[in-house]
Amino acid sequence: MCESRPMAPKSKDDGFVLPYVLVVIFILALTSTIAVRSLNSSGRIVTALNADILAEQRLASAEADTLYVFLTSALVKGGVDTSYTPWTGEDILDGFDVSRLPPNAIWSAAGGKRFSRYATGNVNVTYRDISGLVPLNRDAPELLNRLFKGLGLKSDAAKTAAAKLGDYMDFDNRRRFRGGERADYRLKFIPPPSNAQLRAYEEIYHVLGMRSLLSPGIYDRLRLYTTLTPTSTYYRTKFLSSDVARILGLDKPNGNGMRAGRRNIDFVNEITASIETPTLQGRFIFSTPKMMGKIIVRAVEIERTPAAADLPFRRNVVFEETRDASDNIKNDSAKDEASLPVFATPDRTLQ
């Protein structure tokens, strides 16, 4: 007769092997998913950084090419001659016969657009002469009042903004009507007026009351339509954009706007208003795409200084920012949106 053996006692872990394996598999899968997502996120960051670096390189190259063209080209009627035609002294006295130039040779100083092409992408460059912008640092109350009103402020607010900005920049302590001098600043516990011209657009928010008067949209248009560069020329009609002409009321020669504008210029300014040759100062706006529908925009002002051999030009950065591609600066006056390469090539020689 067979003797039955006693059964081994059951362990408390019996029956839990499969759930344990499933838990381990789940943890490993979750860890792998997190790792893959982290790698993807890191890859996107690296790609975005690389795109930013390439965009900065394109901007630097386009600015260098633009500077070369602006410094070495002849200023002719309407803009700069990018064909490098060898002009003579007689041509200069005759005012440059631009009919001699091939098509698209003139880069218009009234918002002319050019494209600089590189292996990593294109850079859009817009050129406007400084005389086509409103000089914000000029003490001209009626002009500033018309400017702020054209930018969107109501009549009283525009007069207030013009008066306060004038008091901020002038050298005296006499308070203008609606303006503000040192005593007004002390009452608000803010730094006193600088009694000097604005050195950067951000400084306008140091002016008493401007933070409540200027919305972000008005501030953006202010930077676009004005210049801080000291200039003796009020404007040159040839280089005004339609927006600036409309803001100042200069699009109606027989209206009150033109007469009001005339009160802010002297005899020399009135003569230069009709000159069609650009000045030695230009604003250039560069824009190039980044990642995910973004573009980087940089605006610089360049002044040619041929009388100073050790300093052939001056450069001032107006602003630089990243914005949506759909918000790119509108070029409402560009008449020559040619994509022809007008920038320096390695084999180009000076003439």
Q: What Cα–Cα distance (Å) separates residue 323 from each residue in 185, 217, 292? A: 35, 13, 11
What domains can be seen in the chain, in order of their start residue? 56-132+280-327 (no CATH), 134-272 (1.10.40.60)
Q: Do residues 111 and 334 touch, judged by C-beta distance below 8 A?
A: yes
pLDDT value of position 351? 29
Q: How confident is the model at residue 270 (pLDDT cuts 50, 70, 90)?
A: low
pLDDT tens per residue across span 115-150 = 888 888 889 999 999 999 998 988 888 888 989 999
pLDDT value of position 51? 78
Residue 18 reports pLDDT greater than 80: no
pLDDT value of position 331? 41
Give the mean model confidence (pLDDT) for residues 274-285.
89
Query: How many CA atoms within 13 Å lie on the side-chain side of 72?
Result: 18
pLDDT value of position 156? 94
In this prediction the pTM is 0.76
| C-beta contacts of 301-308 below 8 A and 24+ residues apart | 301/130, 301/227, 301/229, 302/66, 302/67, 302/70, 303/229, 304/70, 304/71, 304/280, 305/280, 306/280
Dist CA 171 CA 174 (whole Å)? 9
Q: Do residues 133 and 333 touch, judged by C-beta distance below 8 A?
A: no
pLDDT tens per residue across span 71-116 = 988 888 889 988 887 877 666 666 677 777 787 888 999 999 998 8
Residue 260 reports pLDDT greater than 50: no
Dist CA 110 CA 115 (whole Å)? 16
Dist CA 42 CA 157 (whole Å)? 49
Dist CA 22 CA 148 (whole Å)? 70
Dist CA 192 CA 180 (whole Å)? 10
Average pLDDT of the chain to the nearest whole number: 78
